[in-house]
Structure 1
């Protein structure tokens, strides 16, 4: 018998309502007595719920014995907006964290090898079960948040976010090899909002960029998907919390770390009822990205601008069926 999530993957072409059923995946449906392939395929159902820049979901999976491979789906890339694959790797990093967490939740330590084949740079990771290991309480909390995580693209409530929660998110980012800078002073906030506005204008004036994004994401997310959106200026100006996720290095390995940090932070934030959305224009435009470190008065490489806050639960973003993302 098909599980609820698996039943939603049996058709190659599906409407958005059916694709949203992937969010109904249930822990009780885990095929504990099944083959390695059956169990890994089930765990991939959690990976596909990860956030991705502009909701492009640029990942593919392949089962090899008792391993699952995560690789780039080049058909989902945005070469004009993301010529270095930075955002593609960030997105795949988020899916990688969901896979790691799913392995932990179902009693496995998990074995992860990054870039296992030097001749295949699009093969980002190969994961196996590893030895038996009980998940921690924190891992259980983060895992339980996966089906409930949403990107909130509308106004958020004018309710302060506790300092202790924000401190916790910073610690989680650091544990995954990234950093989270909280924009706390009014001058710094005003400067960041102005930079978002400038980057917005530059992107709007770029015909190639404007042609690329609608052509690739219009059928997937009317508001540009999980990590991106239309004009972010009003959302930034009214945000309770503005933050910048970054890394000490600006390499493919660092981008993958940033994606894992993003996924972990968002799941922990969701466990506190917090939502996030992404104002990534100033990081996508080279002329504004290079100015961000000075604005933040810190060294490093900004990877994502995020706002956090409380709000009403938004609907889930459509997801690609598993049948479409497995080789």
Structure 2
């Protein structure tokens, strides 16, 4: 965990780069668009517009917007502000890049999030640095 502003800035740089790379990738945008649906959809999976602060009318166009436009600059700016303005950032990692290690990490994350929620904390996920191959190390 870090509260160091210099480290937060470096992490924000990774997130910013990841947002821009993902949004510039047409295949990524098509995949993401499949998970977006309108606020009044009966789907039980995916992400309704309201989960991103989008109203009912705008949520009907979410798939088209995500799939068609490179929205990376705007998302990168939003995520950078969130990362740099957060009182604390936590980074979780595994010693091995295996399914078993991922499951164990996910379980630890679940416990951490539940404990934080019980203490009134909120969390945001910034997965870009592990989803963009050139950022994984």
TM > 0.5: yes
| Structure 1 residue 215, shift from structure 2 partner | 1.0
Number of aligned positions between the proteins: 104
| Structure 1 residue 216, shift from structure 2 partner | 2.3
Whether contact under 8 Å (2:3, 2:87) holds in the other structure is: no
Whether contact under 8 Å (2:5, 2:84) holds in the other structure is: no
| Structure 1 residue 235, shift from structure 2 partner | 1.1
- Distance in 1 separating the partners of 2:5 and 2:80: 15
- Distance in 1 separating the partners of 2:124 and 2:32: 18
- Within the candidate set 219, 227, 249, 2:96 is matched to 249
Q: Would you tell me which structure has more helix in proportion to its own residues?
A: 2
What is the alpha-carbon root mean square deviation over aligned residues? Answer: 1.6
Query: Which aligned segments of 4 or more residues in structure 1 are displaced greater than 4 angstroms?
Result: none
Q: Which has the larger radius of gyration?
A: 1
Deviations for 1:205-256, whole angstroms, at most 9, x for unmatched residues?
10000111111243532347xxxxx542221121111110111111000000
Q: Please name the residue that 2:116 is paired with.
A: 269
| Structure 1: segments with no counterpart, 5+ residues | 1-181, 225-229, 291-327
- Distance in 2 separating the partners of 1:235 and 1:289: 21
Q: Please name the residue that 1:200 is paired with.
A: 19
TM-score under structure 2 length normalisation: 0.69
| Structure 2: segments with no counterpart, 5+ residues | 39-45, 53-74
Q: Would you tell me which structure has more strand in proportion to its own residues?
A: 1
Q: Please name the residue that 1:149 is paired with.
A: none
TM-score under structure 1 length normalisation: 0.30
SS of match in other structure, 1:241:
coil
